[in-house]
Chain A
Amino acid sequence: MRKNGLNDSELVLSYKNGNEEAFKTLVERHKSRIYTAIYLIVKDAEIAEDLLQDSFVKAINTIQSGRYNEEGKFLPWILRIAHNLAIDYFRKQKRYPVVNMEYTNPVFNTVEFSEGTYEDEQIRHETHNLLYQLIAELPDAQRDVLIRRHFMQMSFQEIADATGVSINTALGRMRYALINLRKKMESNNIAYDQNLYPG
């Protein structure tokens, strides 16, 4: 639901016309998803924040220069910018993302869980940290599809086009990513607890 009733395209236009609050709404609306997508690639909270900032700076510059033309598709557009910046970061470092298997401690979104006990919070944080490690251990192709589909909200066809495979291959990789995650969770005794993850 849109709190202020404006969609992304309208907010971009409003910002272009001088309304800074419109851009703040865009940032608040999408920062978590963009940040998480970057973090899953770079595995470092500080670097992910720098790249999040760079992504929005690029978006701001493009909008203010009048070159923005992705009407109604702000999130996929800025996620592509973020993804490219994350990959560029590794190119500059002359190493591939998988080299670093350890994630630095991120800050989890606690808004939805503020009513839980301290122990619940601790368990949830520990489970999430372990889940990030399990995602890092997935085969590259499977992890890539999982990040693109779930966190970058690309369709399976878009993923297939972007990675040069058939849609069936993209679907298969996603399915195996989920199956592998389930197996890893079972072997690490991580149970899906509805009390910790309310629907």
Chain B
Amino acid sequence: MTTLFDKVWQQHVVVPETPEAPAVLYIDLHLVHEVTSPQAFSELASRGLKLRRPDRTLATLDHSTPTLPSVNGELPYVTDEAKHQVATLRENAATFGVELLDFGSGQRGIVHVVGPEQGATQPGMTIVCGDSHTSTHGAFGAIAFGIGTSEVGHVLASQCLLQRKPKTMAINVEGQLRPGISAKDVILHIIRTIGVEGGTGYAIEYRGSAIRSLDMDGRMTLCNMSIEAGARCGMVAPDDVTFAYLQNRPRAPKGAAWDAAVARWRALVSDADAKFDRQVHIEAADIAPTVTWGTHPGMGASLSESVPSGDDAQFDKARRYMGWDAGQALVGRPIDVVFIGSCTNGRLSDLRAAANELKGQRVHPRVRMLVVPGSDKVKRDAEAEGLHDVFLAAGAEWREPGCSMCIAMNGDIVAPGQLAVSTSNRNFEGRQGKGARTILASPAVAAASAVAGALSVPNGV
């Protein structure tokens, strides 16, 4: 009768929910970054409070950090304020005893890339971070969701949150994905299907044979964008793919503890007769290479489609912002920028997919292409395979890890009016810089478009 979500939830209830009060929910892992934590640490300091569980708190630097290397020992921060924000997290980490994966640690990177690759993210956990893409960690069968800064303070001080249990939604993707279809295509298709508010109030469990066939990087891409459908949390039940990914990661259990953990994790599946509040069924064969044409992630279309006509006010505004004519073919639209990276698509398999399109090719002279690995480890692993040589030979920029052009708060921006094909997660107006236009796409579509200088269908699709 019980869903995966309910099983994990029940294991973390400290005080049960009543009509008068939400549950007190225990948090196993609190990930912290420089942007949403300073005011929370200040709150603790002003009340004279300590951090309850430094051992369950892990910090890194990603949003405000430059992706260009140091010059004369100085990182080129976009502003003094950004530099100060990074310094503030360093100070807070030292004062409160938080482990910080800093520059020089070899473990720094985007918080949602670092947690899994370090093995800190594990099945059955509750994981929070002051970042809406915390849903990424649900790929491991964890309940993981983004919180605001007040709640960051709550978790720092009490290791708990006040939460009402959300409704549950099963999204079943059955059958075999067509050749060349990636997890990014799957999630853009799902958001297009249920809408940008379709998941509001729900925790999603992604199920079905097409989901099982995804590797962990793909499952992370999928869960990452749950919030773009309004769902704070998206999950995939852990299985042998999950366990193989985690085994021997630095922070994963070892030896007998590993065996015990896997035995426990195998129980983390929805029962056959589990009841969900909503069920959505999607045929894997219906999913084509999918991108966005408009100004929110639900305004999606397959590459064979045209920009929707229709006089809906919001569509009209989106078409004007993006510079489309109604009915214009998507493929062939000239582009200015390609961004490969982010917590959505900044992992090793994403860089491989992009490099695969670029091998022996040149980035079109009109296009600026930025490749930003998700973490120090992704960068090392990519360089060990020679992927950076492919990018550099093609004329792309190969940068240091960080959120970079996804949120465009570190100086990596798309210029006003320019059109970017981006592997990130949000195509809101101005998301990648004031006046910037964004087409969300998979790494393969983005890289193929970089070569063509226009939105293109990748090879092998």
Q: Do A and B come from one complex?
A: no
